[in-house]
Chain A
Amino acid sequence: MNYLNIFFSEFYKIIFLLLPVLVSVALIVWLDRRVWAFVQKRRGPNVVGPFGLLQTLADALKYIFKEIIIPASSNKVIFILAPIITLTLSLIAWAVIPFNEVMVLSNINVGILYLFAVSSLGVYGIIMAGWASNSKYPFLGAIRSAAQMVSYEVSIGIIIINVLLCVGSLNLSQIVLAQKDIWFIFPLFPMFVIFFISILAETNRPPFDLPEAESELVAGYQTEYSGMMYAMFWLGEYANILLLCALGSILFLGGWQSPIDIYPLTILPGVFWMIFKIVILFILVSLVKAIVPRYRFDQLMRLGWKIFLPFSLIWLVITASFLFFLDLLPT
């Protein structure tokens, strides 16, 4: 009986975490398109529902009723497994994201490592999709994407180490609480910039959307997918972007804490600030999509390995020596 109770209480918690995440993914797709349209002086989706808010729902309905086509020469098991893995991995990572002091599904000691591990597993969905499709463009897209994600993970890892040096804990709530006096964006501003650019590369967003560069590779690893399976890739991608925005706001923007600790700002709940910061970061991400042209692949690799990696390593040494010699190391 005891197990059943635990099971159901956890089950409810998971449902009440996942439903808002999925709904906000739908809203964020709308926001992305609106921001994009705004920059290009278009209207964007504004017909379905108020301000076009239900546009994504309409799209999703369309995807559900489309036929799922599985190519005859594909490897069927892996072909079907790939979008499932992408979506699952982008959703399970939300388990450790703290929305305020108590609102977190599981407050584990190694939360940041868990997030890093899950986001490094995300590459499998793409490789599997590319390989199982058994056709040129998906395979090329998958190879590109894997190389890109593996390269940028390295610099993300070193940036995370930078923050962890200042915190002294791997727990995400501790990371947020350590920023009570000053957000890490101020002392570690160059790291924030690199982290932001690495987010774009890690989630295959423009200007680093080479895996699905339509002028070269049709749609990259998604070429052979249709209907609900395509929609799952698409959901997973946006959930991943949201997740990395949440990670960015936890690492650099003080998570659920209000900007200044004064009266009118502190009555707003922490959840509001957390979501506000995620949305601000996401608007930045979608602005980049609208204003920057696509990189070439060698430029992308050069940026990752020859600029970001050495720079973040040097910054790591600077941070460590600064903390050590000024005796600021957290105990």
Chain B
Amino acid sequence: MLAHTLLFYFFSTVAVFSSLMVILSRNTVYSVFFLILVFVSISILFIMIGAEFLGMVMLIVYVGAVAVLFLFVVMMLNVAEKKNQKIVNKGLINNISVGSIVGLIIFFELLVVIGGWKYKGDFVSLSSISINDELTNTHALGNVLYTDYIHLFQIAGMILLVAMIGAITLTFKKRENIKKQNYFDQIGRDKESAVSLVEVESGKGVKIDD
């Protein structure tokens, strides 16, 4: 038990420290790396409480896909490290006021959710979910997600799909005047259509259309 407790405190300290570093570090690329560290340590915490499936999915989805895209965007935008610029500048008051309003709203929401958890009705009744010790984590989750909450689960999936298609349609641009390879034409070429014998008069070239 002692080792478990020590490991818990170690990983939670790492998680808290690196989540602070996400917003404190000047270099945006470092911020993303610290964000990855947060994700990894949280997935380790998940595994330590026995939620192995959640921990692994956390690693696959957040670290393997989401954070890669973050890193991509940050590197591509090339937000240079601002060494000389001090934190104190004109927009400080503005930033602090907006930030604290958002922070207060989130804090209030968390308070409502966690406080309301105690008085929740039969909307989500934990007692109806039977937890079988012999089932693995994945089985148990699947049993709940695909039976009682199948509609909510499907709706969540649909929302994600719509968001994805929306992002694609917003950024999709039909580009004109570009050369494109038609793969079926390319594969369907034969000797007769591709090679032709041309008599070339000396001193004159041949015009080949491109």
Residues of A that sit less than 8 Å from B by CB: 3, 78, 108-110, 113-114, 116-117, 120-121, 123-124, 127, 131, 139, 143, 146, 150, 153, 169-170, 298, 302
Q: Chain B contact residues: over half helix, strand or loop, or mixed?
A: helix
- Bound form: Cα–Cα A150–B72 in Å: 12
- Bound form: Cα–Cα A67–B102 in Å: 52
Let me know if B136 and A120 touch, CB within 8 A. no
Let me know if B56 and A117 touch, CB within 8 A. yes
Let me know if A124 and B3 touch, CB within 8 A. no
Name the distance in Å between A326's Cβ and chain B's nearest Cβ: 20
- Report B36-54 residues with CB < 8 Å from chain A CB: 36, 52-53
1/0 per position for B131-167, CB-CB distance to A under 8 A?
A: 0000011100000000000000000000000000000
- Bound form: Cα–Cα A121–B63 in Å: 7
Contact partners of A131 in chain B: CB under 8 A: 29, 75
Let me know if B56 and A113 touch, CB within 8 A. yes
The answer to the question of B64 belonging to the interface, with a C-beta cut-off of 8 Å to chain A, is yes
Q: Chain A contact residues: over half helix, strand or loop, or mixed?
A: helix
Can you report 13 residue pairs joining A to B where beta carbons are below 8 Å apart? A109-B52, A110-B137, A110-B138, A116-B56, A117-B60, A120-B59, A120-B63, A121-B63, A124-B68, A131-B29, A139-B75, A150-B68, A302-B183
Let me know if A110 and B65 touch, CB within 8 A. no
- Which size bracket describes the interface of B in this complex? 20 to 34
Name the distance in Å between B164's Cβ and chain A's nearest Cβ: 13
Chain A, Cβ-Cβ closest to B27: A75
Contact partners of A120 in chain B: CB under 8 A: 59-60, 63-65
Let me know if A113 and B64 touch, CB within 8 A. no
Excluding A109-B137, A110-B137, A153-B64, 11 further A-B contacts by CB distance (< 8 Å) are A3-B3, A108-B52, A113-B57, A113-B60, A121-B63, A123-B64, A124-B36, A127-B68, A146-B72, A170-B136, A302-B183
- Selected from A3, A121, A169, A302, the residue in CB contact (under 8 A) with B59 is A121
Let me know if A114 and B56 touch, CB within 8 A. yes
Let me know if B138 and A117 touch, CB within 8 A. no
Q: A127-B68, A146-B68 are in contact. Are A110 and B53 (CB under 8 A)?
A: yes
- Bound form: Cα–Cα A131–B64 in Å: 18
Let me know if A117 and B71 touch, CB within 8 A. no
- Bound form: Cα–Cα A84–B138 in Å: 32
Contact partners of A3 in chain B: CB under 8 A: 3
Nearest first, the 10 closest Cβ-Cβ pairs linking A and B are A120-B64, A113-B56, A117-B59, A109-B136, A117-B60, A110-B52, A110-B56, A117-B56, A131-B75, A170-B138
- Bound form: Cα–Cα A13–B59 in Å: 25
Contact partners of A127 in chain B: CB under 8 A: 68, 71, 75
Residue picked from B36, B59, B183, most chain A C-beta under 10 Å: B59
- Selected from A109, A123, A143, the residue in CB contact (under 8 A) with B138 is A109
Let me know if B138 and A150 touch, CB within 8 A. no
Contact partners of B57 in chain A: CB under 8 A: 113
